[in-house]
Amino acid sequence: MTRALACTVVALLGCHAPRAPRVTEVELPPVHEVTPQPIVFGPLLAPATIYNQPVAGAVASSPLRDAVFTALAERVPGVARPLRDPRLDLAGDDLADLVQRGGALDSAVVEFAMRARGIVESTERPLVARATTAEEVIAALEPLIGDILKSGNVRIGVGGGGAAPVVVLVIHAALVTFPPTVPRSAPARANVVLRATLDRSLHAPSVTISHDDDHRAVDHPMIAKLDRWTFETTIACGEHVGTEWVLVEGHDVFDRLTRLALFPIDCGTRPRETYRVEPRVAIADDPGALERHLRAVVDRERASAGLSPLRGDLRLQAAARRTTSLMLQLHTVEHRLAGTTNALRLRETNLVPALAREATLHAPDLETAVQILMNEHGYREQLVDPQLTHAAVAVAFDARHEMYIAIELVRIVPPIDTAGLTAAILARINATRPAGEQIQTDPLLDEIALRYAVERSRGWSDESSMRFVRDDHRFVFGPFATMSRALTLLVADDPKGVDLGPPTRYDMLGIAAVQSARNGALAGRVWVIVLYARRR
């Protein structure tokens, strides 16, 4: 499975991608497609708090599980017999329950279950069989086993059985061992001591620390050798809050660098307790159907966060298709593509929104794509941003029929009822005055305020806009002894957000509210001016 957060900037030369056609301003209503709710996997019972944590007490087994383990152990070549790992038994039980509820076992959810049981190693693939006898289970697993049992240091776990399917997990013990002292999570700014022992065929260990939210921030802590194969180092959380990935490597007899272990430590936060799995759905295998389904998933996730569905926009859709076309052409998942950025691609389709977000990813299938969006913090955070109003999704298949996906998310400021806003401001002003001193706006002051607000909404500066007001002979020779103003720039229809200025004595009042073009540099902002004056 390929997954990537698009955050790296690359320079691409010699790329002549076609420009996107300009699209007329057409906003679309929200999608009303119903999607099934995800299956919530977890919280698991008594998860491990440290890696390689011993299992407390005996793990429940059954004659079926024991017979399956024995049959698989006999397939391991050599004299070294495989071990039954109770941690793998527990993870197998967890995953069997998930399969029974309709969840599919992709690599991400299997990794989640393994880490929750304190297992550093990864399994190549889970083996799943729906059968009631050991012979039937082995017969069902036979086509799936392949060469997974041919290497040494094999550990096997068997879970499920009965009403649930049988799930078999196989790992090969890492060529580096850790005592059960490394925590899965650590307090903020904590230092974690990592002690490990290399296999005797290896030498020259190294440790690399990377961060989940900034893959460019890489640390190489100092290694202290305690003997020829045992070493110690310190992993510092520092100011980072989130997941730090610990990569342990060593050199073999040919001095080749070999990856030995890769596992996360959560700094200043708890390990994730749940993983949301997307049910398999029967859907037409064409980009349009997948795009509609993913748009519905976006709204489903927003609804779960108490947010409204997003509208569509043809300009936004054109920008999304442009992004997937470039990713497919360049075989990469990025935001900067062929000299363009997200903002430039939106502008090419004649869209300049108040706020723009873009999520890009590559996934082998629909369910994996949705699980990335639901469970990866960076992606989900974008989907449930309450400021957003519109979304578009584009899908393009590569040569392996895997998907490049672009999700464009923007805020387009809605049309503001400026007349209603003006009336609400007047009511707010009169609410501060005694009952017998209610005031109405003066037509001349209203006109002067409107002229100023119109000029500001078109992008003119304060100085330029005031020049038009000062040169108006009705202002110069009008009935005004003194005048003051209060100016507010709004991005929403909220009269409470209007600045009424400091308390002042006045007997004339003018109010104007003008919305800038909703698509452009000022992105629908509303200019509100309140003029106060005293008669000569």
SS (H, E, C) 394-427: EEEECCCCCEEEEEEEEECCCCCCHHHHHHHHHH
Query: What is the pLDDT at residue 25?
Result: 56
User: What is the signed CA dihedral for 113, 114, 116, 121, rounded to 10 degrees?
Assistant: -160
- Distance, in Å, from the CA atom of 48 to the CA atom of 271, rounded to the nearest integer, reads 10
Q: Give just the sign of the alpha carbon dihedral 46, 47, 51, 57.
A: positive
Residues ≥6 apart with Cβ < 8 Å to 198: 175, 176, 205, 229, 230, 231, 250, 260
Residues ≥6 apart with Cβ < 8 Å to 212: 242, 243, 244, 245, 264, 377
Query: What is the pLDDT at residue 133?
Result: 92
- Distance, in Å, from the CA atom of 275 to the CA atom of 266, rounded to the nearest integer, reads 16
What are the strands of the beta sheet with 526-535, ordered from one edge?
A: 480-490, 526-535, 508-515
DSSP per-residue codes, 182-205:
-BSEE-TT-EEEEEEEE-TT-EEE
Give alpha helix (H) positions in 74-180: 86-100, 107-116, 134-145
Q: Three-state SS for 463?
A: helix
Closest CA to 78 of 174, 203, 172, 200: 172
Closest CA to 329 of 12, 3, 43, 4: 12
- Distance, in Å, from the CA atom of 208 to the CA atom of 248, rounded to the nearest integer, reads 7
Q: pLDDT by residue for the chain (536 residues), tens digit each?
A: 334 434 332 232 333 444 444 455 577 777 777 788 999 999 999 999 999 999 988 888 999 999 999 999 988 877 678 899 999 999 999 999 999 999 989 889 999 999 999 999 988 789 999 998 999 999 999 998 888 887 778 999 999 998 899 999 999 988 999 999 999 999 999 999 999 999 999 999 999 999 887 667 799 999 999 999 999 999 999 988 999 999 999 999 999 999 999 999 999 999 999 999 998 888 878 899 999 999 999 999 999 999 999 999 999 999 999 999 999 999 999 999 999 999 999 999 999 998 999 999 999 999 999 999 999 988 999 999 999 999 999 999 999 999 999 999 999 988 889 999 999 999 999 998 888 888 999 999 999 899 999 999 998 888 888 877 777 777 777 788 788 888 888 877 788 889 888 878 888 899 999 999 888 888 888 999 999 988 88
Locus of tokens 């003029």? 531
Locus of tokens 């202290």? 224
Locus of tokens 């342990």? 248
Q: Report DSSP state, residue 285.
A: S
